[in-house]
Structure 1
Amino acid sequence: MPLYEHVFIARQDLSNTQAEGLIEHFGTVLSDNGGKVVDSEYWGVKTMAYKIKKNRKGHYSFLRTDAPAPAIQEMERLMRLHDDVMRVLTIKVDEHAEGPSIQMQKKDDRDGGRRERR
Protein backbone atom coordinates (compact mmCIF):
# COMPACT_ATOMS: atom_id res chain seq x y z
CA MET A 1 0.00 0.00 0.00
CA PRO A 2 1.14 3.60 -0.51
CA LEU A 3 2.84 5.45 2.34
CA TYR A 4 1.74 8.94 3.40
CA GLU A 5 2.70 11.60 5.92
CA HIS A 6 0.10 14.01 7.29
CA VAL A 7 0.38 17.17 9.35
CA PHE A 8 -2.70 18.88 10.66
CA ILE A 9 -3.28 21.94 12.82
CA ALA A 10 -6.10 22.00 15.36
CA ARG A 11 -7.58 25.04 17.11
CA GLN A 12 -5.58 26.51 20.00
CA ASP A 13 -8.45 26.46 22.50
CA LEU A 14 -8.55 22.65 22.62
CA SER A 15 -6.91 20.86 25.52
CA ASN A 16 -3.89 18.63 24.89
CA THR A 17 -5.95 15.48 25.43
CA GLN A 18 -8.60 16.66 22.96
CA ALA A 19 -5.91 17.40 20.36
CA GLU A 20 -4.36 13.96 20.88
CA GLY A 21 -7.86 12.47 20.68
CA LEU A 22 -8.11 13.82 17.13
CA ILE A 23 -5.12 11.64 16.19
CA GLU A 24 -6.92 8.57 17.53
CA HIS A 25 -10.17 9.57 15.81
CA PHE A 26 -8.58 9.93 12.38
CA GLY A 27 -6.59 6.73 12.97
CA THR A 28 -9.84 4.82 13.44
CA VAL A 29 -11.20 6.37 10.23
CA LEU A 30 -8.16 4.97 8.41
CA SER A 31 -8.44 1.53 9.99
CA ASP A 32 -12.14 1.35 9.14
CA ASN A 33 -11.22 1.95 5.48
CA GLY A 34 -8.40 -0.62 5.27
CA GLY A 35 -5.39 1.48 6.30
CA LYS A 36 -3.28 1.84 9.40
CA VAL A 37 -1.35 4.49 11.30
CA VAL A 38 2.31 3.48 11.40
CA ASP A 39 3.40 6.26 13.76
CA SER A 40 1.90 9.41 15.25
CA GLU A 41 3.40 12.38 17.05
CA TYR A 42 1.85 15.27 18.90
CA TRP A 43 4.10 18.30 18.40
CA GLY A 44 2.29 20.59 20.84
CA VAL A 45 1.03 24.15 20.58
CA LYS A 46 3.08 26.32 18.23
CA THR A 47 2.80 29.89 17.03
CA MET A 48 1.87 30.23 13.37
CA ALA A 49 3.34 32.76 10.94
CA TYR A 50 -0.11 34.23 10.23
CA LYS A 51 -3.62 33.98 11.63
CA ILE A 52 -5.85 31.14 10.45
CA LYS A 53 -9.54 31.51 11.31
CA LYS A 54 -8.65 34.18 13.92
CA ASN A 55 -6.16 31.87 15.68
CA ARG A 56 -2.52 32.81 16.18
CA LYS A 57 -1.49 29.41 17.64
CA GLY A 58 -2.46 25.83 16.98
CA HIS A 59 -1.98 22.20 18.07
CA TYR A 60 0.30 20.47 15.55
CA SER A 61 0.02 16.71 14.95
CA PHE A 62 1.92 14.38 12.62
CA LEU A 63 0.85 10.98 11.25
CA ARG A 64 2.71 8.37 9.23
CA THR A 65 0.22 6.10 7.49
CA ASP A 66 0.09 3.05 5.26
CA ALA A 67 -3.28 3.12 3.51
CA PRO A 68 -4.99 2.88 0.12
CA ALA A 69 -5.91 6.12 -1.64
CA PRO A 70 -9.69 5.90 -0.91
CA ALA A 71 -8.97 5.67 2.83
CA ILE A 72 -6.74 8.76 2.65
CA GLN A 73 -9.36 10.67 0.69
CA GLU A 74 -12.03 9.81 3.26
CA MET A 75 -9.79 10.85 6.16
CA GLU A 76 -8.90 14.15 4.46
CA ARG A 77 -12.57 14.81 3.70
CA LEU A 78 -13.48 14.30 7.36
CA MET A 79 -10.54 16.45 8.50
CA ARG A 80 -11.69 19.31 6.29
CA LEU A 81 -15.25 19.02 7.63
CA HIS A 82 -14.15 18.83 11.29
CA ASP A 83 -14.61 22.16 13.10
CA ASP A 84 -11.47 21.77 15.24
CA VAL A 85 -9.06 21.12 12.33
CA MET A 86 -7.82 24.30 10.64
CA ARG A 87 -5.27 23.01 8.10
CA VAL A 88 -4.24 19.65 6.62
CA LEU A 89 -1.18 18.68 4.59
CA THR A 90 -0.76 15.19 3.11
CA ILE A 91 2.34 14.02 1.26
CA LYS A 92 2.93 10.67 -0.44
CA VAL A 93 6.39 9.31 0.38
CA ASP A 94 8.46 6.39 -0.93
CA GLU A 95 9.43 5.22 2.56
CA HIS A 96 8.99 6.38 6.14
CA ALA A 97 12.03 7.79 7.93
CA GLU A 98 13.20 5.88 10.98
CA GLY A 99 13.03 7.48 14.39
CA PRO A 100 11.32 10.70 15.44
CA SER A 101 10.53 13.51 13.02
CA ILE A 102 12.73 16.59 12.82
CA GLN A 103 10.29 18.49 15.06
CA MET A 104 10.70 15.99 17.89
CA GLN A 105 14.50 15.80 17.77
CA LYS A 106 16.54 17.85 20.21
CA LYS A 107 18.05 21.04 18.83
CA ASP A 108 21.59 19.75 19.40
CA ASP A 109 20.87 16.64 17.30
CA ARG A 110 19.47 18.71 14.42
CA ASP A 111 22.46 21.07 14.27
CA GLY A 112 24.98 18.23 14.04
CA GLY A 113 25.32 18.52 10.25
CA ARG A 114 25.75 22.29 10.18
CA ARG A 115 29.05 24.02 9.98
CA GLU A 116 29.89 27.13 11.96
CA ARG A 117 29.75 30.58 10.40
CA ARG A 118 32.87 32.67 10.19
Structure 2
Amino acid sequence: MNKYEAILMFYPDVEAEKREAHFERLKNVLSEGGNISNIDEWGSRKLAYEIQYYKEAFYTLVEFEAEPATIKEFDRVAKILDSVMRHMVIRIEE
Protein backbone atom coordinates (compact mmCIF):
# COMPACT_ATOMS: atom_id res chain seq x y z
CA MET A 1 0.00 0.00 0.00
CA ASN A 2 1.11 3.54 -0.73
CA LYS A 3 0.67 6.62 1.45
CA TYR A 4 -1.52 9.41 0.10
CA GLU A 5 -2.86 12.79 1.07
CA ALA A 6 -6.18 14.10 -0.28
CA ILE A 7 -7.53 17.62 -0.05
CA LEU A 8 -11.25 18.15 -0.57
CA MET A 9 -12.87 21.51 -1.22
CA PHE A 10 -16.60 21.65 -0.60
CA TYR A 11 -18.92 24.44 -1.74
CA PRO A 12 -19.47 26.88 1.16
CA ASP A 13 -23.26 27.08 0.73
CA VAL A 14 -23.80 23.31 1.08
CA GLU A 15 -25.59 22.35 4.30
CA ALA A 16 -23.36 20.78 6.94
CA GLU A 17 -25.45 17.58 7.02
CA LYS A 18 -25.15 17.07 3.27
CA ARG A 19 -21.41 17.82 3.32
CA GLU A 20 -20.87 15.33 6.16
CA ALA A 21 -22.93 12.66 4.36
CA HIS A 22 -20.90 13.08 1.18
CA PHE A 23 -17.64 13.05 3.14
CA GLU A 24 -18.78 9.87 4.89
CA ARG A 25 -19.31 8.27 1.47
CA LEU A 26 -15.78 9.22 0.44
CA LYS A 27 -14.39 7.89 3.73
CA ASN A 28 -16.15 4.57 3.10
CA VAL A 29 -14.45 4.29 -0.31
CA LEU A 30 -11.05 4.84 1.33
CA SER A 31 -11.78 2.49 4.24
CA GLU A 32 -12.77 -0.36 1.94
CA GLY A 33 -9.46 -0.29 0.06
CA GLY A 34 -7.10 1.09 2.68
CA ASN A 35 -6.58 2.71 6.08
CA ILE A 36 -7.30 6.31 7.04
CA SER A 37 -4.65 7.65 9.41
CA ASN A 38 -5.70 11.29 9.89
CA ILE A 39 -8.61 13.61 9.06
CA ASP A 40 -8.11 17.34 9.50
CA GLU A 41 -11.00 19.75 8.87
CA TRP A 42 -9.58 23.15 8.08
CA GLY A 43 -12.99 24.76 7.84
CA SER A 44 -13.92 27.65 5.61
CA ARG A 45 -10.96 29.35 3.91
CA LYS A 46 -10.65 32.12 1.36
CA LEU A 47 -9.71 31.02 -2.17
CA ALA A 48 -6.75 32.50 -4.02
CA TYR A 49 -9.07 33.16 -6.97
CA GLU A 50 -12.79 32.82 -7.62
CA ILE A 51 -14.14 29.45 -8.72
CA GLN A 52 -17.61 29.67 -10.25
CA TYR A 53 -18.18 33.01 -8.42
CA TYR A 54 -17.29 31.50 -5.01
CA LYS A 55 -14.64 33.27 -2.96
CA GLU A 56 -14.25 30.64 -0.25
CA ALA A 57 -14.56 26.89 0.30
CA PHE A 58 -14.71 24.36 3.14
CA TYR A 59 -11.44 22.39 3.23
CA THR A 60 -10.79 18.88 4.55
CA LEU A 61 -7.43 17.09 4.51
CA VAL A 62 -7.29 13.27 4.66
CA GLU A 63 -4.12 11.20 5.11
CA PHE A 64 -4.42 7.51 4.27
CA GLU A 65 -2.84 4.36 2.85
CA ALA A 66 -4.46 2.64 -0.13
CA GLU A 67 -4.01 0.71 -3.34
CA PRO A 68 -4.03 2.56 -6.69
CA ALA A 69 -7.44 1.06 -7.60
CA THR A 70 -8.92 2.72 -4.50
CA ILE A 71 -7.64 6.11 -5.67
CA LYS A 72 -9.43 5.67 -9.01
CA GLU A 73 -12.69 4.86 -7.22
CA PHE A 74 -12.23 7.82 -4.84
CA ASP A 75 -11.65 10.12 -7.81
CA ARG A 76 -14.74 8.79 -9.59
CA VAL A 77 -17.00 9.27 -6.56
CA ALA A 78 -15.61 12.75 -5.79
CA LYS A 79 -16.38 13.86 -9.36
CA ILE A 80 -19.98 12.65 -9.04
CA LEU A 81 -20.77 14.36 -5.74
CA ASP A 82 -22.29 17.78 -6.30
CA SER A 83 -21.02 19.24 -3.00
CA VAL A 84 -17.33 18.76 -3.92
CA MET A 85 -15.91 21.84 -5.61
CA ARG A 86 -12.40 20.44 -6.18
CA HIS A 87 -10.29 17.55 -4.94
CA MET A 88 -6.71 16.40 -5.30
CA VAL A 89 -4.88 13.25 -4.24
CA ILE A 90 -1.10 13.26 -3.83
CA ARG A 91 1.14 10.26 -3.22
CA ILE A 92 3.58 10.82 -0.37
CA GLU A 93 7.07 9.52 -1.08
CA GLU A 94 8.89 7.90 1.80
TM range (shorter): 0.7 to 0.9
Q: In the alignment, does 2:20 pair up with 1:26?
A: no
Matched ranges for 1:71-90 at <5 A: 71-90=70-89
Alpha-carbon separation, structure 1, partners of 2:82 and 2:31:
22
Match in the other structure for 1:51: 50
What is the TM-score with the length of structure 1 in the denominator?
0.71
Tell me the SS of whatever aligns to 2:36. strand
More strand by share: 2
The Cα shift of 1:35 comes to 1.3
- Give the CA RMSD over aligned residues: 1.6
Q: Deviations over 1:33-65 (max 9, x none)?
A: x21211111100011011112211110000001
**Aligned AA (1:37):** I
5+ long unaligned stretches in structure 1: 96-118
Match in the other structure for 1:114: none
Match in the other structure for 2:65: 66
Asked which structure has the greater RCO (Cα within 8 Å, sep 6+), the reply is 2
What percentage of residue pairs aligned between the two structures are identical?
A: 29
Match in the other structure for 2:5: 5
Q: Check 1:21–1:39 CA distance in 2 against 1; reply closer, same or farther (3 A cut).
A: farther
5+ long unaligned stretches in structure 2: none
Q: Deviations over 1:2-52 (max 9, x none)?
A: 0100001000012445434433221101223x2121111110001101111
Of the structure 1 ranges 10-19 and 80-89, higher mean CA displacement relative to structure 2 is found in 10-19
User: Are the aligned partners of 1:26 and 1:75 in contact in 2 as well (CA < 8 Å)?
Assistant: yes
Match in the other structure for 1:110: none
